[in-house]
Amino acid sequence: MSSNKFCEILIVGAGTSGSVVATRLAQAGFNVTLIEAGPDFGPQKENRWPSEIVDDKFVGEETDFDWGYTAKLGSKEIRYLRGKIVGGSSAINASGINWGLKNDYDEWKKLGLTNWDFDSMLPFFKKVENLKDRNYSDISRGTSGELQVSRQKAEGAYFKSFIETCKNRGYNFIDATGPDSSEGYGFVTRNSVNGKREHPSKVYLDQVRGLKNFSIIANCEVIRIIWKNKKAQAVEALHNNKRIVINTDHLILCSGSVGSPTLLQRSGIGPYELLKELDFLTSESKIIDGVGKNLQDHFGIRFSYLPSKYGMQNIDWGQSESMRIRLKEKSEDVGHNLTLSSFVGSHIKNNEELASHANRIQFVTWLVKPISVGYLKIASTNYQIDPVINFQFNNEQDIESLLFALKFAKKFISEEPIKKWIDQSSGLQNIANKKDIINWINDNLSYYYHMVGTCRMGNELDDGSVVNERGLVHGFDNMYIFDASIMPQIPRGMLNLTVFTIAEKMAKHFIEKY
Ligand SMILES: Cc1cc2nc3c(=O)[nH]c(=O)nc-3n(C[C@H](O)[C@H](O)[C@H](O)COP(=O)(O)OP(=O)(O)OC[C@H]3O[C@@H](n4cnc5c(N)ncnc54)[C@H](O)[C@@H]3O)c2cc1C
């Protein structure tokens, strides 16, 4: 093993969070080394990036740039995609841009995170987001940030009927991906422009590539953190199949909701019972009970209907169009707990499951405020063995909520004027037979790759927490986590924008401290 490098700041993971943090720290003058297990294709202007990363219609199923994990969801074991490339999961994701609701972040404050309510985060959301073609009177959205965001088209005649049907029900037109409104219908927003993904390497890392104080080590997988007492001293990594050790002053994990807890556990930092079970407990182990626990994701179901004859003739299948309804199951709830999106056309490709819905009118319903909480734990200290990911989706209330959404969808598409577009007999059936539909939900349930919470933030008195409000791992002086894993609770919307925002905010705190 060769010990060949010393760093001031070592960041592990070049996904959404790692790209932002590395860029900001390098711009502030720190000497930054960014390690990434997957490949790097360099500056965007060199045009070396694979088309599947550049094209916003691609979602990661058929890619080589994935870790190949599986996860348990109810009685099933299915793939759990995670990007393994500079750009991370953001390089292979569906490019949806959503804020959580204001209330989601205010709840973080109620958990004791005084510096993480909506108002404290708002300037950072705005620093990230640059929403083009705004149609909202809403003032929360960012319009001058660095990440370009555009509204998905919904101009065809099918969506005119979709909108009319919403209006007939008394729904308001809202910013359906923003932080302010909970119920109503509106547009979907994406971090892509003219069909091209705005991924973190292009938007962030290209700003610092070439600086003397910044370097990327790609194809380099960290397998263990070497630490003593309160200090992370180095990482042991495999670089192009060669074991290396890299020493550092400060270690920042941006390895994502799977990568960060896995690395901690493999380095002897985790729950007592897990370290004991693996015969990995020593007098020097660091017991942090929350590592890998509190795993949360959004769950949902995709279903589709054949178009009616009228629909077949009048939908422009070459377009990529979508709209969304935010639904509140219980009127007394503060925010919506479900969304129902409708898609027509070629919005996503390269995916076997989605191909089965091609040329159909598609719907996705999402449970955005689930109750089920799962866990991640390493099965072995051997880095070649994948961690166990179990969503423990077994909460009856969660299943009832999905049932509510399916019943809503079935009723909605039978109303005027949307009904003329859809062959009502071709999609969801037997909705009245609860047993059948619950079985169907369990068979068709999926998660949306929005995992958070596996290294959650909290103060030192908060037993289940792993890092403090500044991302510092409890019990350490120089090891931080700044990625999606630190969210204490999942926001009601896709996550990437919140991850960019957390990374901007954490980078600022770090720069102020050092
Ligand atoms: C298929 C898919 C679709 C999604 N769709 C959407 C969407 O439409 N909208 C949305 O908002 N969100 C979406 N998401 C989620 C979103 O992309 C993630 O929440 C976000 O990218 C998380 O950022 P992160 O920095 O925490 O982790 P990541 O972006 O996953 O970055 C982690 C990086 O660390 C690297 N890494 C991990 N372990 C190691 C190690 N040991 N050594 C070296 N490097 C390591 C990984 O290779 C990766 O590059 C999707 C995710 C996926 C996978």
CA dihedral 320, 449, 403, 488 (to 10 degrees): -130
| Residue (of 292, 219, 234) closest to 259 by Cα position | 292
| Residue (of 431, 399, 398) closest to 412 by Cα position | 431
128 touches ligand 1 (CB under 6 Å): no
pLDDT, tens digit (0-9, with 9 covering 90-100), for 178-190: 998 889 999 999 9
Instruction: Quote the ligand 1 centre to 83 CA distance (angstroms).
Output: 5
Nearest CA to ligand 1 atom 30: 89
493 touches ligand 1 (CB under 6 Å): no
Q: Which atom of ligand 1 is nearest to the CA of 223?
A: 41
- Across the range 59-79, mean pLDDT stands at 87
Report residue 393's pLDDT band, with 50, 70 and 90 as the boundaries.
confident
Calpha distance 242→219 (Å, rounded):
11
- Contact between 147 and 128 under an 8 Å Cβ cutoff? The reply is yes
Q: What are phi and psi of 250, to 5 degrees?
A: -130, 135
235 touches ligand 1 (CB under 6 Å): no
Residue 200 CA neighbour count, 13 Å, CB half: 30
Calpha distance 243→220 (Å, rounded):
9
- Across the range 463-468, mean pLDDT stands at 96
Q: Which residues contact 143 (CB under 8 A, 6 or more apart)?
A: 126, 129, 130, 131, 134
The per-residue pLDDT for 106 is 97
Cα 449 to chain centroid distance, Å, stands at: 6
The structure tokens listed for 226 are: 């070497």
263 touches ligand 1 (CB under 6 Å): yes
pLDDT above 70 for 114: yes
Q: Which residues contact 497 (CB under 8 A, 6 or more apart)?
A: 97, 98, 99, 125, 128, 129, 147, 191
Domain(s) of CATH 3.30.410.40: residues in the chain: 153-187+299-369+394-444
Instruction: Quote the ligand 1 centre to 450 CA distance (angstroms).
Output: 9
Instruction: Quote the ligand 1 centre to 384 CA distance (angstroms).
Output: 20
pLDDT, tens digit (0-9, with 9 covering 90-100), for 477-498: 999 999 999 999 999 999 999 9
String of b and e for 99-111 (b: at least 16 CB within 10 Å)? bbbbbbbbbbbeb
The per-residue pLDDT for 137 is 58
Within 10 Å of residue 385's Cβ, how many Cβ atoms? 11
Nearest CA to ligand 1 atom 4: 93
Question: Strand pairing of 231-239 and 338-345?
Answer: unpaired
Q: What is the CATH number of domain 153-187+299-369+394-444?
A: 3.30.410.40
Angstrom CA distances, 89 to 65, 139, 189, 278, 361, stand at 9, 29, 18, 29, 27
The per-residue pLDDT for 136 is 61
Burial degree of 191 (CB within 10 A; 0-12, 13-18, 19+): buried
Q: Which atom of ligand 1 is nearest to the CA of 499?
A: 23
pLDDT above 90 for 274: yes
97-111, 128-142, 395-409: least confidently modelled range = 128-142
- Contact between 92 and 58 under an 8 Å Cβ cutoff? The reply is yes
Calpha distance 139→179 (Å, rounded):
10
- Please give the full DSSP string across 39-84, using - where no structure is assigned: -----GGG--S-HHHHBTTB-GGG-SSB--EEEEETTEEEEE--B-
300 touches ligand 1 (CB under 6 Å): no
13 touches ligand 1 (CB under 6 Å): yes
Into which CATH architecture does domain 2-71+82-95+198-294+452-513 fall? 3-Layer(bba) Sandwich (3.50)
Beta bridge partners of 304: 362
Instruction: Quote the ligand 1 centre to 90 CA distance (angstroms).
Output: 6
Nearest CA to ligand 1 atom 3: 93
188 touches ligand 1 (CB under 6 Å): no
The structure tokens listed for 450 are: 């929005």
Length of the chain: 514
Residue with tokens 């209907």: 305
Q: Which atom of ligand 1 is nearest to the CA of 94?
A: 8
17 touches ligand 1 (CB under 6 Å): yes
pLDDT above 90 for 98: yes
| Residue (of 459, 464, 458, 507) closest to 483 by Cα position | 507
341 touches ligand 1 (CB under 6 Å): no
The per-residue pLDDT for 197 is 94
Residue 59 CA neighbour count, 13 Å, CB half: 17
The per-residue pLDDT for 428 is 76
Residue with tokens 């070439």: 210
Q: CA-based Rg of the chain, rounded to a whole angstrom?
A: 23
User: Where is pLDDT greater, at 508 or 319?
Assistant: 508
Domain(s) of CATH 3.50.50.60: residues in the chain: 2-71+82-95+198-294+452-513
Mean pLDDT for all residues in the chain: 92
pLDDT, tens digit (0-9, with 9 covering 90-100), for 322-377: 999 999 999 888 899 999 999 887 655 556 666 666 778 999 999 999 999 999 99
Within 10 Å of residue 492's Cβ, how many Cβ atoms? 24
Report residue 394's pLDDT band, with 50, 70 and 90 as the boundaries.
confident
pLDDT above 70 for 407: yes
Instruction: Quote the ligand 1 centre to 424 CA distance (angstroms).
Output: 38
Q: What are phi and psi of 440, to 5 degrees?
A: -65, -40
Amino acid at 466: V
The per-residue pLDDT for 395 is 78
| Residue (of 192, 259, 157, 224) closest to 58 by Cα position | 192
Instruction: Quote the ligand 1 centre to 366 CA distance (angstroms).
Output: 20
Helix/strand/coil (H/E/C) assignment for every residue in 457-487: ECCCCCCCCCECCCCEECCCCCEEECCHHHC
